[in-house]
Amino acid sequence: MDPAEGVPQFHQQMVYAVAMSTIERFENALGRTALWAPNLIRIDGKVRSNYVQRLRIYPHALREQNAFYSPQKKSLLLGYFTANRDNAGDNLPGGIVFSCLSHDVVAHETTHALLDGVHRHYQYQTNEDIAAFHEAFADIVALFQHFTIPVALRHTIAVSRLLAQLAQQFGQASNGSKALRSALAKPPHPSDYENAKEAHDRGAVLLAAVFQAFLEIYEARIVDLKRLATGGTGILPDGDIPEPLVNRMAREASMTADHLLKTCIRALDYCPPVDLTFGDYLRALITADMDLNPEDQFNYRTALISGFRARGSFPQGVRTLSEKNLLWQPPKTRLTLAKMDEMLASLDLTWNLLSNRMQSYLRAEQNGFRLWKWLQSGLSADEAMALEDDLGVYIRPGSHVPREVPISRGVPALSINSVRPARRVNLRGQQSIDLVVELIQKYEETDAVTGQNSTHRGGCTLLVNMEERSFRHAVRKRVGSPARVTAEQNFLRMTAENSGPHYELGTREPFAAVHRGG
């Protein structure tokens, strides 16, 4: 249908097209069909997961200035509202504004749903970065989808040459508008990360760090074009830029945005399964890009490190901010090829871009159970003990298992939520295939201050090199880490005192509260 603001059927077409475009970008970056987070149902005290076939989208769900992803309904609920009669901007004063007609809002909310499908435990707000990451990542995808389209950039490049101006225009239309505008309108400061407490404000710090990297890389890619166009000076004269040069500059901006967006999405497979911080995500970005493109011709990784450093956002547990120190490390345990072949032979790894979604979900569930059985019976006692230390979880029963770790069927309860392939193609056209395994374990302890029982989670994302049949990286949050448990308890107490929106599975709509507050 032709665009028509007053035709409800066009609203439906609009949200479907934008959502499908966003899904396609995710699937191409990860090399597999995307799955929605399953419905979790408690039966006789046990949590069971049910497959979700479709994300449901309601273009006219709310009579309010809000739009959000509902983890409970597995739906996008998009609102509509009456424009201000005195200052309506480009809208009709007193007219109806539909959030379903905003490409940015729909892409943002669809990204929340996709991220929930990859990392369902990011709904648990265990630190100040978790909610902020959800918001920032959704804005990163929505923003850079614009920048991957050359025609969307040409006018801005020709007239103002400032891509940051186009990003600020995006901010005026998107959910995190105030925070996004302020983040891009002021120079970075080392206190930006520490001073940003609200989810959108802290998320804007992450978005601004990534966008700064984009601008630095873009400038590096067009420096030769400007020199050729200016006789070697590199300084463009006043006035509109010639059309051929605009087209080339727009193309370079588009290629930069596409590469950076794919890297941001691929990095999800390199993130810990619980308790993510911005520093963890920086390490995931660097490792994901290094694995695929070691040469880094245009210094993508250097630019990303610079963007985080300029805003005071640093990873923990590293000595320097060099690429080598930021890379996630492989487990120390080395299993024989025969052992690795035995493990991989028990798994069904036919999940790809052409796979049926339900079959992909069922394969992931079956693979998790098969891998759990192999961990119980396929390893010697010494190998299991060594692997426990590498992964930060407990596999076999024994006196070394803390009493705070629940026991199920006589062994430490261990959830293997995902055993998924990751197919990637580098800039040279070479394909690599990894296996991504997420292991999550509970740690139940009594808060010494409040006296209340609290559940904490640790775990590990394990990446397996399928070609070499070896462990590539282990991204862990050690179960029962005293420092992390204490930090989480302090954060939860502070959150309860402030009565702020709190992400928790099965309680209320976390994104509705955060978006309404923003």
Three-state DSSP class for residue 417: strand
Instruction: Give the number of other CB atoms < 10 A from CB of residue 97.
Output: 18
Answer yes or no: are the C-beta atoms of 298 and 221 closer than 8 Å.
yes
pLDDT at 65: 85
pLDDT at 3: 85
H or E segment at 109?
A: helix 103-118
* Percent composition of the chain: helix, strand, coil (DSSP 3-state, to 5): 50, 15, 35
H or E segment at 465?
A: strand 453-465
pLDDT at 307: 95
| Strand blocks (E) in 93-136 | 96-98
**What is the spatial distance between Cα 388 and Cα 379, in angstroms, rounded to a whole number?**
11
Answer yes or no: are the C-beta atoms of 387 and 401 closer than 8 Å.
no
How many helices and strands in the chain, by DSSP H and E? 17, 12
> What Rg, from alpha-carbon coordinates, does the chain have?
24
pLDDT digit string (tens) for 111-166? 999 999 999 999 888 999 999 999 999 999 998 988 888 887 887 777 666 666 55
**What is the spatial distance between Cα 492 and Cα 2, in angstroms, rounded to a whole number?**
49
Three-state DSSP class for residue 242: coil
Q: Which of 113, 129, 35 minimizes the C-alpha distance to 418?
A: 35
pLDDT at 263: 95
Answer yes or no: are the C-beta atoms of 146 and 152 closer than 8 Å.
yes
pLDDT at 134: 94
Residue 436, phi then psi, degrees to nearest 5: -110, 120
pLDDT digit string (tens) for 231-267? 777 777 776 777 888 888 889 989 999 999 999 999 9
Q: Who's near 475: CB < 8 A, 6+ residues apart?
A: 270, 271, 272, 280, 283, 284, 328, 460, 461, 462, 463
Angle between helices 128-147 and 243-266 (to 10 degrees): 150
pLDDT at 174: 44
Buried b (16+ CB within 10 A) or exposed e, 274-288: bbbbbbbbbbbbbbb
Question: Degrees (nearest 5) of the Cα angle 214, 230, 217?
Answer: 10
Instruction: Give the number of other CB atoms < 10 A from CB of residue 272.
Output: 26
Q: Who's near 375: CB < 8 A, 6+ residues apart?
A: 384, 387, 395, 414
Tokens of 500: 């702020």
pLDDT at 173: 45
Answer yes or no: are the C-beta atoms of 281 and 271 closer than 8 Å.
yes
pLDDT at 95: 81
How is the chain split into domains, by residue range?
Answer: 8-326, 337-480
Of the CA atoms within 13 Å of residue 391, those in its CB half-sphere come to 29
Q: Who's near 259: CB < 8 A, 6+ residues apart?
A: 300
Q: Which residues pair with 216 in a beta bridge?
A: none
pLDDT at 185: 64
pLDDT at 503: 43
Q: Who's near 452: CB < 8 A, 6+ residues apart?
A: 446
Whole-structure pTM value? 0.90
pLDDT at 390: 94
Answer yes or no: are the C-beta atoms of 113 and 74 closer than 8 Å.
yes
Instruction: Report mean pLDDT in 10-residue bins for the chain, 518 residues.
Output: 89 95 94 91 80 95 90 93 73 81 91 95 91 93 86 75 58 47 72 91 92 91 83 73 84 92 96 96 96 88 96 93 94 90 87 86 91 92 93 93 91 90 78 91 86 89 92 94 91 71 51 64
Answer yes or no: are the C-beta atoms of 309 and 214 closer than 8 Å.
no
pLDDT at 166: 55
Residue with tokens 């995710």: 26
Give the burial class of 182: count Cβ atoms within 10 A of its Cβ; 0-12 exposed, 13-18 middle, 19 or more buried.
middle
